């Protein structure tokens, strides 16, 4: 983790512009061509969702802007890596949060995800990650809905909430291509449209290198 000097930082002006707002987040929802990810999952005979989780984790970690956070007290930091906090469904259909340590290899990532999910599902009650540790991003997969827009719960006026949220939706096939909705909800003081484009480029590379 690297502490940022806000007075000598290239992101100073953008952060100053948006960080004082009650809700400095903005969302981008797009249809992502997930054909390569789907083909990879089928070839490896593994879960499409798990391949997507890994590709997202690797891509977010590759783009520096998504690893900036504001700590309680106002310090800005850049994490070396950020972990995945995804969701699992319990037998009673309640959702529970699972933190998966960052891995650069799909097999290691999936093994860690399965282990952490089993631990969380064994708890007597659902667990929700409160975000006290900020070296994470939140992601939900809703394979029942091909949504066209998404909002995320945030605490308005909470200056120190800077954790990236993401949602992946149902994939649909047409003309030999598979597309799915992807929503990214990020702090505008760190992330802009250009950085989002870098993320999607990194997603493409992740799909090829699994």
pLDDT digits (tens, 9 = 90+) for 106-150: 999 999 999 999 999 999 999 887 767 899 999 999 999 999 999
Beta strands in 14-152 (DSSP E): 25-33, 68-70, 76-78, 83-89, 95-100, 136-142
The pLDDT value recorded for residue 117 is 97
- Residue 136: strand pairing partners: 83
pLDDT digits (tens, 9 = 90+) for 16-31: 999 888 889 999 999 9
Query: What is the dotted CATH code of the domain comprising 2-6+29-209?
Result: 3.30.559.10
Phi-psi region of 141 (alpha: psi -120 to 50; beta: other; left: phi over 0): beta
* Spans of all domains in the chain: 2-6+29-209
In the predicted structure, residue 33 carries a pLDDT above the cut 80: yes
User: In 3-state terms, what secondary structure has residue 45?
Assistant: coil
């Amino acid at each position: 983790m690297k502490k940022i000097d806000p007075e000598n930082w290239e992101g100073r002006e953008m952060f100053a512009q948006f960080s004082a707002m009650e809700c400095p987040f903005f969302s981008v929802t797009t249809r992502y061509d997930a054909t390569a990810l789907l083909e990879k999952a089928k070839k490896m005979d593994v879960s499409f969702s798990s391949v997507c989780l890994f590709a997202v984790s690797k891509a977010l970690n590759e783009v520096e802007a998504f690893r900036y956070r504001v700590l309680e007290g106002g310090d800005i930091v850049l994490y070396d890596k950020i972990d995945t906090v995804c969701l699992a469904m319990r037998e009673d259909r309640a959702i529970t949060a699972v933190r998966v340590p960052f891995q650069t290899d799909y097999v290691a990532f999936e093994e860690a995800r399965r282990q952490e999910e089993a631990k969380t599902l064994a708890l007597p009650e659902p667990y929700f990650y409160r975000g006290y540790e900020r070296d994470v991003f939140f992601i939900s997969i809703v394979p029942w809905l091909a949504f066209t827009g998404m909002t995320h719960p945030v605490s308005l006026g909470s200056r120190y909430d800077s954790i990236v949220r993401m949602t992946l939706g149902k994939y649909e096939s047409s003309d030999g291509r598979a597309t799915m909705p992807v929503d990214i909800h990020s702090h505008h003081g760190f992330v802009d449209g250009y950085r989002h484009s870098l993320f999607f480029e990194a997603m493409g590379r992740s799909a090829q290198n699994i």
